[in-house]
Amino acid sequence: MDVLMKLGDIDKRVLYVLLVLVLLIPMVRPIGIRISISHWTTKAYEQLSRLEPGDTVICDFGYNVDGAPDVEPIAKAIFRDLFDRNIKIITVSLNAQGPMIAEKLLLPYEESGKVYGTDFCNLGFMAGGETALAAYARDLKRTFPRDWRGNTTSTLPILQGITGAPDTKAWIFFTDSSAEAWVRQVGDLDVPMIGAVITVAAPQAEPFVHSGQLSGLLTGLRSAAEYEIVTNRPGGAVAAMDAQSLGHILITIFIVFGNISYFVKRSKELAGREGVQ
């Protein structure tokens, strides 16, 4: 009993160190815990696997750097899959930090031979939130007269024949908040839409997949790992999933022992009070 009570009084800093160790060890020496593929990831993969070489998709960046560790692995997995299949990518940003993030992700592909303006382009950020989203979803070149690098967008080969979202084959958005803005403003356009959201926002986004408003949903690091597996390109997300799983087990243990300790303490206190009376 005393051991259980003491467990509840462990210094929280000890728990932080334990958590870091439990996450770090499997990243250094992976265990290879099996990852199952969710229905939502399968739907997203099926939608994107229909794309042919030369097709164009829009990737909308709506996350900040503080949400990047959870959302960015999805962007990396999708970029790798699409560029490997010679699919063209137009990046836009609903978020101010988006163009910088997109530029960082696109750089390795540019260095490996993909041509800016032909295979991909970064149109940058447009202020105005949902109003801006409604505008650029319907007319990219009018909303972005110049791209992030200062080029006139009407001269970019990748944008020839493309006015708005319906002229592309898919709209993929990456966000660290809710999916609702995209559902509202891109939902009524004739383009399949795939959401890549931070894990916290998953329960709010799932009804949109069920209703068919989203063609697929990828949520956080877990979905990134699943996408890497279904595309046969295992990468950083798969490697991090062992840590993710062990981290969850440790937190579950914390919660269970924390509760046991609480109830043991409470029952002792109650017994003590009854003894006094």
Partner 1 sequence: MSTDVGIWVGALMTIAVFSYLFSENEFYKAVEHIYVGAAAGYSIVLGFSNVVTKGWQPLVEGRQFQVLIPVAMGLMLFAPYAGTQYNWMRRIPISFIVGIGAGITIRSVVIEQFVKQLSATILPFNSVNNVIIVLGTLAVLSYFFFTFKPSRALKTSAEVGKWIIMITFGASFGNAVMGRISLLIGRIDFMFREWIHLIKL
Residue 223 contacts partner 1 per CB under 8 A? no
Residue 272 contacts partner 1 per CB under 8 A? no
DSSP three-state, residue 25: helix
* Beta-carbon count within 10 A of 133 CB: 22
Residue 77 contacts partner 1 per CB under 8 A? no
**Comparison of 102 and 201: residue with beta carbon closer to partner 1:** 201
Residue 240 contacts partner 1 per CB under 8 A? yes
Bridge partner residues of 115 (DSSP): none
Question: Which residues 6+ apart lie within 8 Å of 180 measured at CB?
Answer: 204
Among 51, 87, 90, 202, binds partner 1 (CB under 8 A): 202
Q: What is the DSSP letter of 149?
A: T
Question: Which residues 6+ apart lie within 8 Å of 193 measured at CB?
Answer: 170, 171, 172, 173, 182, 183, 186, 187, 213, 214, 215
**Comparison of 87 and 214: residue with beta carbon closer to partner 1:** 214
**Mask: binding to partner 1, 150-169, rule CB under 8 A, as x and -?**
x-------------------
Residue 180 contacts partner 1 per CB under 8 A? yes
Q: How far is the CB of 180 from partner 1 (least distance, A)?
A: 7
DSSP three-state, residue 62: strand
Tell me how many degrees the CA angle 11-13-16 measures, rounded to the nearest 5. Answer: 125
Half-sphere exposure of 255 (CA within 13 A, CB side): 6
**Mask: binding to partner 1, 246-265, rule CB under 8 A, as x and -?**
-xx--x--------------
Residue in the structure block whose two tokens are 């919660």: 255
Residue 239 contacts partner 1 per CB under 8 A? yes
Residue 191 contacts partner 1 per CB under 8 A? no
Listing DSSP states for 179-220 in one string gives SHHHHHHHTTSSS-EEEEE-GGGHHHHHHHHHTTSSSEEEEH
Residue 32 contacts partner 1 per CB under 8 A? no
Of residues 5-24, which lie at the interface with partner 1 (CB under 8 A)?
13, 16, 19-20, 23-24
Backbone angles phi, psi at 23, to 5 degrees: -80, -35
**Comparison of 10 and 23: residue with beta carbon closer to partner 1:** 23
d(CA 141, CA 88): 17
Q: How far is the CB of 145 from partner 1 (least distance, A)?
A: 6
Residue 111 contacts partner 1 per CB under 8 A? no
Segment contacting partner 1 (CB under 8 A): 83-91, 112-120, 127-135, 163-171? 127-135
Nearest to 236 by CA among 105, 57, 45: 105
Among 5, 7, 8, 30, binds partner 1 (CB under 8 A): 30
Q: How far is the CB of 200 from partner 1 (least distance, A)?
A: 4
Where do contacts with partner 1 occur on this chain (CB under 8 A)? 13, 16, 19-20, 23-24, 27-28, 30, 66-70, 72, 96-97, 100, 125-127, 129-131, 134, 145-146, 150, 180, 183-185, 187-188, 198-203, 207, 210-213, 219-222, 236, 239-240, 243-244, 247-248, 251
